[in-house]
Amino acid sequence: MKGTPHIVIGGGLGGLSAALSLLSVGRKVILFEQNEAVGGKASQRYLGAYRFDTGPSLVTLKEVFERLFSLSGAALDDYIPLRELHPITSYFFSDGTRVCSDSKEAMVKSISQNLEVTEQEMRRYAAYTREIYDLTHRIFLEKSLHRKETYFNRETLHALLRFNHVDTMRTMDEANRAMFSDERMIQLANRAATYNGSSPYHTPATFNNIFHVEHGLGGYAVANGIYGIVDGLKRRIEELGGKIHTSSPVEKVLYDRNRRITGVRVMEQTYSSDTVFSDVDTIHLYRDLLKDTKSPLYRRYLKLEPSSSAIVFYWGIAGTFTELSVHNIFFSSDYRREFHEIHSLHRLPSEPTIYINITSKVTPADAPEGKENWFVLINAPHSSEESDPREINRLRETVLEKLKQELRVDVGAMIEEEEVLTPHDIEKETGSYRGSLYGISSNTRLSAFLRHRNRSNRYEGLYHTGGTVHPGGGMPLALLSGMVSVEEYLHHSGGSSLWES
Ligand SMILES: Cc1cc2nc3c(=O)[nH]c(=O)nc-3n(C[C@H](O)[C@H](O)[C@H](O)COP(=O)(O)OP(=O)(O)OC[C@H]3O[C@@H](n4cnc5c(N)ncnc54)[C@H](O)[C@@H]3O)c2cc1C
């Protein structure tokens, strides 16, 4: 282990990934987390005998998790046992159609058997989404976009030559409409936009690569819940000698007059280091920890649209539903109106799409026998304001009414434990600006280039990780941001590449 410890602020997935990557290349690490436990958006809560993951629920891009652990000399399976889901999601359309989606060849069959889509159309769509992924993921997900080497190499040249295949000029909805005529299939494909908190009517068709990520590469559950990811990372970090301090809010990032990082202030104690990795939301970092609201990057970030947020109901349900899977979607009848209300009118959708995640289906200990833990998520506009309880209640009634129609059971009468999470709570608990789930939205063509860089060009020794910086939000991307930020640090400090270590 070399020199003084490097400091990581925030124990979200990006911070944990940066900490583990630093330890993997022999650096010392101290991580400070303001909450009682690490995890950030990926935390857990107990209501009576029920356990709930608070935020993310679907694991994709397993290879990113494997890579992070293998860099540290460990096998993912020994820390985070992932289980491939079959089916991945049960979709309930407003016309009464039900489809269980799967991955790879099973996905082609399940969709073409239930919707007005031929196997040939499905294969063509799978190939189209795979090609976008193949052309983009190394450049846009695994490298810094702020280094010239990223642009001058054979891979990027190949992608540039096939630039029209990346489909940047159409919106996701336009591209999907050109591929399919069945409105249900278009709605199913358009849902990918919600995986980065955007609208399919604005986000570029490039993000159809998310369909490949889920259905081409597969969706996974974690044997001991999503929080098992956080537990596994924490265990490996501590095995390698990393120190994690919880209930330790960083009050200030310290720097000298040449803007060289000198350490952090935590509960009136100073910890010195010339290298700090920040996993906290970019706006929170500049405004509250650096006290640098004059920074051009801070000003620019303030003007960018945050991704959408969510209202989550955590319900302990006294009963089981065999017709439901681990992931379930009850689509609204008018998707365009729903996204217009969330992204343009900034209000709760009048008729929302309902997402229900039930981890007790794969992790029985998450609910008492004969019962289920329902995580019910509604996409909502980003907001710092406290939600009006009357509006939340109205939304709850709308959701319960829709579920009553679909499942022919009064779910409301089966709720025996209950809590709700609002955008305001997300901001308060994780520091996420306006409770946005994925940093800035991807509603414009340039969003990938607008995300904050991983190495500061304003503060020497400051690195940025997490869902609000490059390459963006979502669990695998937050993990990648940790690795890319450490790769940036190694490049800048003359170390060998993380990917080659
Ligand atoms: C409801 C919800 C549903 C989601 N669904 C999915 C999904 O299905 N799939 C998916 O891939 N992703 C999903 N996401 C997104 C995913 O959870 C995030 O992109 C990812 O977890 C963000 O990680 P992060 O590193 O940016 O940090 P965050 O989780 O934002 O953590 C930042 C950490 O920094 C800490 N912190 C802040 N300020 C300080 C300070 N001053 N001092 C010390 N510590 C501080 C916070 O307490 C927090 O622990 C969802 C998110 C939410 C909220």
SS (H, E, C) 286-350: HHHHCCCCCCHHHHHHHHCCECCEEEEEEEEECCCCCCCCCEEEECCCCHHHHHHHHHHCCCCCC
Between CA 322 and CA 100 the distance in angstroms is 13
User: Does residue 205 line the site of ligand 1, with CB under 6 A?
Assistant: no
User: Does residue 306 line the site of ligand 1, with CB under 6 A?
Assistant: no
User: Does residue 475 line the site of ligand 1, with CB under 6 A?
Assistant: yes
Atom 27, ligand 1: which residue's CA is nearest? 12
Mutate to test the pocket of ligand 1, among 430, 442, 452 (most ligand atoms within 8 A of CB): 430
CA-closest candidate to residue 142, choices 494, 483, 491: 483
pLDDT at 497: 82
Nearby residues of 298 by Cβ (< 8 Å), 6 or more positions away: 282, 283, 286, 287, 292
Phi and psi based region of residue 36 (left: phi greater than 0; alpha: psi -120 to 50; beta: remaining):
alpha
Query: Ligand 1 centroid vs 475 CA: distance in angstroms?
Result: 8
Mutate to test the pocket of ligand 1, among 20, 280, 308 (most ligand atoms within 8 A of CB): 280
Phi/psi for 289 (5° steps) reads -100, -35
> How does strand 89-92 pair with strand 44-47?
unpaired
Q: Which CATH class is domain 2-42+224-304+441-500?
A: alpha beta
Nearby residues of 445 by Cβ (< 8 Å), 6 or more positions away: 168, 169, 204
Average pLDDT by stretches of 10, the chain with 501 residues: 86 98 97 98 98 97 97 97 94 94 86 94 96 84 66 65 79 97 97 95 95 95 95 98 98 97 97 98 96 93 93 98 97 98 96 98 97 98 92 98 97 98 97 94 78 94 96 94 96 82 64
Mutate to test the pocket of ligand 1, among 17, 20, 41, 313 (most ligand atoms within 8 A of CB): 41
**Hey, where are the domains in the chain?**
2-42+224-304+441-500, 86-218, 308-381+388-421
Between CA 299 and CA 305 the distance in angstroms is 13
Atom of ligand 1 nearest to the CA of 15: 25
Residue 98 has, within 13 A of its CA and on its CB side, a CA count of 9
Phi/psi for 453 (5° steps) reads -65, 165
Convert 391-406 to b/e letters by CB count within 10 Å (16 or more is b): ebeebbebbbebbeeb
Query: Ligand 1 centroid vs 41 CA: distance in angstroms?
Result: 3
- Rounded to the nearest angstrom, the gap between the alpha carbon of residue 311 and the centroid of all alpha carbons in its chain is 16
| Prediction pTM value | 0.95
Atom of ligand 1 nearest to the CA of 310: 1
> How long, in residues, is the chain?
501
User: Does residue 9 line the site of ligand 1, with CB under 6 A?
Assistant: yes
User: Does residue 426 line the site of ligand 1, with CB under 6 A?
Assistant: yes
Phi/psi for 49 (5° steps) reads -90, 10
Query: Ligand 1 centroid vs 424 CA: distance in angstroms?
Result: 14
Cα 326-364-51 angle, rounded to 5 deg: 85
Query: Ligand 1 centroid vs 467 CA: distance in angstroms?
Result: 7
Atom 7, ligand 1: which residue's CA is nearest? 56
pLDDT at 147: 65
User: Does residue 435 line the site of ligand 1, with CB under 6 A?
Assistant: no
Q: Give CA separation, 207 vs 180, 431, 471, 496, in Å.
A: 17, 27, 13, 32
Query: What's at 362, amino acid-wise?
Result: V
